[in-house]
Amino acid sequence: MARIGLVPHGQRSEARALADEIGSWLERQGHEVRLLTDDGVHPWACAGGDLAAGLDLAVSLGGDGTMLRTVGLVLAAGVPVLGVNVGHLGYLTEVGPEGLCDALVAFLAGRHRIEERMTLEVEVVRPSTGTAPVIAHALNDAVLQRAPSGHTIRLALSLDDEPFLTYAADSMIVASPTGSTAYNLSARGPVVSPRARVVVVTPVAAHMLFDRALVLAPPEEVAMELIDGRSAELVIDGQPWGVLSTGDVVRCRAGGQDARLVTFGGRDFHQILKQKFGLSDR
């Protein structure tokens, strides 16, 4: 018997319907099903904090946003994640709804591979509040961006505690290789193979001559300190974390725990990239 966790997109009825369908199928096969839901009366209902304990597989039913959420829920426990694309083409999802049963059969039979993806450890130090530092983790990125009604942010960027440059920009992105095809890509940052182990730092609309992205080796730590009385919003993997004030620091480094994504060898990152952008061979 395996323990399978299902994480459907909360606003997509087709994702919730697929979770019910595949959960019933798994139960008939004798497996334990856990469903992440706020509906406490659902027979498989499970709170986020209880999802990962003893879990053999987490199944994300949605798009890349749902994948990021699922990875965040099970990362610390090292649970592998299978992404099911319910919606638009995603970089992270592995199969479509029509292939989910076959994918689960293959996984349970051991006919799969685990792709290790580098994560980011994000440490938030807030002298402005006097609170203890907080650690978060990201599969894609950590972004310091101007508050909704604010001006450009100003920050002092350090690398391994050595001052590098002071930036004025709309945002500053620190991305993993996986996150290079997210916000980093729209900001004209480099596209990085998800198998690489680097940290990408990309300013967005920098008000200065030097506006190039930096590609750093994983041992290097990036620190962003807010200066000049400006506040900024911190967003981690697309989710607002909070508003930071002058003197607060965000430190980003390679995470100690890789995300574990289930793959069956049928998808190729470079082909997905070409399909996403409608690229063709010459």
Among all chains, which residue has been given the structure tokens 């750093």? 216
51: DSSP letter: S
Token pair belonging to 244: 């930071």
> How many angstroms separate the CA atoms of 260 and 27, rounded?
24
Decide if 281 is catalytic: no
One-letter amino acid at 171 equals S
Closest CA to 244 of 154, 117, 136: 154
132: DSSP letter: P
Strands (E) across the chain are located at 3-8, 32-36, 45-46, 57-62, 81-85, 113-117, 120-125, 134-138, 141-145, 153-159, 162-169, 171-175, 199-204, 214-216, 222-226, 232-236, 239-244, 249-254, 259-263
Catalytic residue from among 39, 50, 64, 281: 64
Active site residues: 64
